[in-house]
Structure 1
């Protein structure tokens, strides 16, 4: 995606499919002329588009045939989302209708917008900084209410303002450093080392505070992963169906029914959790089944939580549990299934509890204990995180990586100051740190970074 805001673009701004309303957005210098050419008001008194006012009427094709009755609104630049003249048509939400109206708009001189191009133009036209632009996508793709709240804080511009304030202080320090380099005989007067150390260590503290919430809020921002693991016929597929409240996985008494993994998503009181049912553990010579077992083990290693499903009605021994998923791993819950049947002696619950596992007893078939298990899943994935602070600043992965780069340079700068490294060499680290902070807000951002960010947007946003 080239960094350009020339030309007039148009796209359907609502999701694909059928619905009551579908919105087509047009932005650029031809937006108003196109709207005037294809829109016919239902009112004889209509004298032209009034800004920020909904006008009811019809979209006509070149033969004056009515394509749809619509509500149209004109938002003149720079007081629009993109900073350009923008028109939005609220049409009926059928695919054919939207396609015909969009086709008419494109035939009048607009071009189809690329993914994220409306927000890219907003960024290029100074309507938002890069942290706000990324927050738009984060809100759209937020897997939970908590994630949406965290994105909304950044959409307000608070993160960008804090980064800019921090960079501004470092730039002042750079200016003093340049003076000290140019006038070495006055360097101690221009920039005392103790003052420089204070400023740098304060910047380190500020960046560390911003980074503190990244891992703690990961589950809210990305969702959690829980993997069902256990021997064949322990009831993993039945449990998946019970958690979902519907039959998603095939359940039979034939060992090895599940040969691949099945993934579904649960919403546990606002937290999105991917639950994966894996192939049952057993010795096998079947290459397909073994591939499923290997894939299941790999998923379990990546998981936030592993549910060790045990058939409580049959013989059980701790050797049946993969030693990698010991109680000490801190990522396992022992789920004792089939409690509606006679239990083995000693019971699997007793054995697992003595081994240090948290134990939840269920009957996937009858739905017993499922609510308790769902609560335990949520608590484990959010362990140490708690509910998200709606006012907390939490950078995304790109921003966090760039902040860590700046932090590394500033940590090195602290060491260099302690070693009384020459001022001109100190300036190199300071310049690198400032450049990294500039990348976060978009003051200085490589083209490939912009391409990567905006290509992840949906078309129409």
Structure 2
């Protein structure tokens, strides 16, 4: 049982219409009641899910702010404890003053993620659902929000629990047959076990196959626009952002520093990076920009390589193409509104396995096709319907990989026709590892580490 009462500011610090100070714990209502003055005599008498109008006053009876105080009583609250949310005006001074009074009243400052941690420890949500709360807060596109909400409602947890239940039933059946051979228990052979484990392995593998795409929705994909100077890199950045973010001129070398923006392409969050044109130069400042461009290129998840239809391929283009072999990349032939130089078909041979998009950023032609190619590259031919389970968390991916290894070992053991008690060892390992995802077999240290990544007010 958690005895102390915690408090935190749950809204960003700064000027805003509303600021919220949140309390959770046995003394939450009584602490708020000490500083609240309203038409209702006591917050301690307020029913659950009530919003109470009044004022926060200091020890001298002076009004600090006009507020609305929400009261939520255990167990029907986010943490399953008594909770209070003081909705005051969002000025920096006001919110901090209310927070100071709450702490003086007997609450302690919450640790990062402690409200969600209490919800987990008190059994209202499991660990995967708790982590999805953080994902929902940090969602940068509607698709990433949709995936987070899907996990918050327990879709992933149900899938993991279903798989663990199948494993537990199989383990119990095997052990019952081994421990109580004299009882009338349906006989299960090594071959039968192998088939059932193989089916469970396939289910885990299907989940794992979504991890790379899921990671994109959670973290975004670092996409670098590269090319020689004056091919239209900054124009492409502006076109994808639908705003004039980067300076565009006819002068080669205009972009000398890295420009980074997050853009939503069909629900896919791209961390889009506009780089300085890559070329040999004697200009000291431009040279630094070129070097940074090469560094960003090396660390990119995806590359948009641009070249100029009106000039044909140059040695600078060919040098960049050589660096693209091991990169997920799309080739963009820009300025198709101008007359093409002869011999430009060479690029089809140099980037035979890459998607090529011909476009004119001046007219907008080809922009929609480029977005389609980006979508196809990220999804890699996979189609995810709304509500599908998708792995977005690296911790979940690692647990699934470990579980799959244990299941594959179990299959190998059955193929070798070894005794079933040897198979049980690997099945139990898989069962334990899958439990780490929902928090049913997780260590206290790992729980602390996970919630330390949350904001204090959540």
Category of TM-score, reference length = shorter chain: 0.7 to 0.9
Of 346, 349, 358 in structure 2, the residue corresponding to residue 360 of structure 1 is 358
1:257-308 deviations in whole A, cap 9, x for unaligned?
4344221112234332221112211124678755644543343355454222
Of 244, 247, 257 in structure 1, the residue corresponding to residue 241 of structure 2 is 244
Separation in structure 2 between the aligned mates of residue 445 and residue 44 of structure 1, nearest angstrom = 45
Match in the other structure for 1:345:
341
Separation in structure 1 between the aligned mates of residue 276 and residue 184 of structure 2, nearest angstrom = 69
Whether the 8 Å CA contact 1:305–1:380 is kept in 2: the answer is no
Separation in structure 2 between the aligned mates of residue 419 and residue 184 of structure 1, nearest angstrom = 23
What is the SS of the residue equivalent to 2:18?
A: strand
What is the SS of the residue equivalent to 2:139?
A: coil
Q: Which moved more, 1:107-116 or 1:442-451?
A: 442-451
Match in the other structure for 1:335:
333
What is the SS of the residue equivalent to 1:36?
A: helix
TM-score, normalization by structure 1: 0.87
Cα offset, 1:128, TM superposition: 0.8
Structure 1 segment 338-417 matched on structure 2, within 5 A: 343=339, 345-346=341-342, 348=344, 352=347, 358-363=356-361, 366=362, 368-369=364-365, 371-372=367-368, 375-376=371-372, 378-384=374-380, 388-395=384-391, 396-417=393-414
Structure 1 segment 47-58 matched on structure 2, within 5 A: 48-58=45-55
1:32-64 deviations in whole A, cap 9, x for unaligned?
111211111146798831211111111111122
Q: Which moved more, 1:317-326 or 1:15-24?
A: 317-326
Whether the 8 Å CA contact 2:301–2:327 is kept in 1: the answer is no
Whether the 8 Å CA contact 1:179–1:187 is kept in 2: the answer is no
Structure 1 segment 27-66 matched on structure 2, within 5 A: 27-42=24-39, 48-66=45-63
Match in the other structure for 1:324:
322
Match in the other structure for 1:21:
18
Match in the other structure for 1:81:
78
Whether the 8 Å CA contact 2:303–2:327 is kept in 1: the answer is no
What is the SS of the residue equivalent to 2:50?
A: coil
Are the structure 2 counterparts of residues 198 and 307 from structure 1 closer, same or farther at C-alpha, using a change threshold of 3 Å?
A: closer
Q: Which moved more, 1:104-113 or 1:447-456?
A: 447-456
Structure 1 segment 142-221 matched on structure 2, within 5 A: 142-182=139-179, 191-221=188-218
Are the structure 2 counterparts of residues 294 and 426 from structure 1 closer, same or farther at C-alpha, using a change threshold of 3 Å?
A: farther
What is the SS of the residue equivalent to 1:83?
A: coil
Match in the other structure for 2:219:
222
Cα offset, 1:167, TM superposition: 1.5
Are the structure 2 counterparts of residues 135 and 332 from structure 1 closer, same or farther at C-alpha, using a change threshold of 3 Å?
A: same
Cα offset, 1:328, TM superposition: 10
Separation in structure 1 between the aligned mates of residue 174 and residue 383 of structure 2, nearest angstrom = 43
Separation in structure 2 between the aligned mates of residue 370 and residue 16 of structure 1, nearest angstrom = 43
Separation in structure 1 between the aligned mates of residue 139 and residue 147 of structure 2, nearest angstrom = 9
Separation in structure 1 between the aligned mates of residue 306 and residue 120 of structure 2, nearest angstrom = 50
Whether the 8 Å CA contact 1:52–1:74 is kept in 2: the answer is yes
Of 236, 259, 264 in structure 1, the residue corresponding to residue 261 of structure 2 is 264
What is the SS of the residue equivalent to 1:20?
A: coil
Separation in structure 2 between the aligned mates of residue 285 and residue 69 of structure 1, nearest angstrom = 64
What is the SS of the residue equivalent to 1:54?
A: strand
Whether the 8 Å CA contact 2:4–2:26 is kept in 1: the answer is yes
CA RMSD of aligned residues (A): 3.2
Are the structure 2 counterparts of residues 47 and 334 from structure 1 closer, same or farther at C-alpha, using a change threshold of 3 Å?
A: closer
Of 92, 97, 110 in structure 1, the residue corresponding to residue 107 of structure 2 is 110
TM-score, normalization by structure 2: 0.87
Give aligned pairs, total: 453
1:382-421 deviations in whole A, cap 9, x for unaligned?
4435664221111222112101111110111011012122
Whether the 8 Å CA contact 2:30–2:43 is kept in 1: the answer is no
Whether the 8 Å CA contact 2:7–2:22 is kept in 1: the answer is yes
Note the residue ranges of structure 2 that are not aligned, 5 or more in a row. none
Note the residue ranges of structure 1 that are not aligned, 5 or more in a row. none
Match in the other structure for 1:135:
132
Are the structure 2 counterparts of residues 123 and 330 from structure 1 closer, same or farther at C-alpha, using a change threshold of 3 Å?
A: closer
Whether the 8 Å CA contact 2:357–2:370 is kept in 1: the answer is no
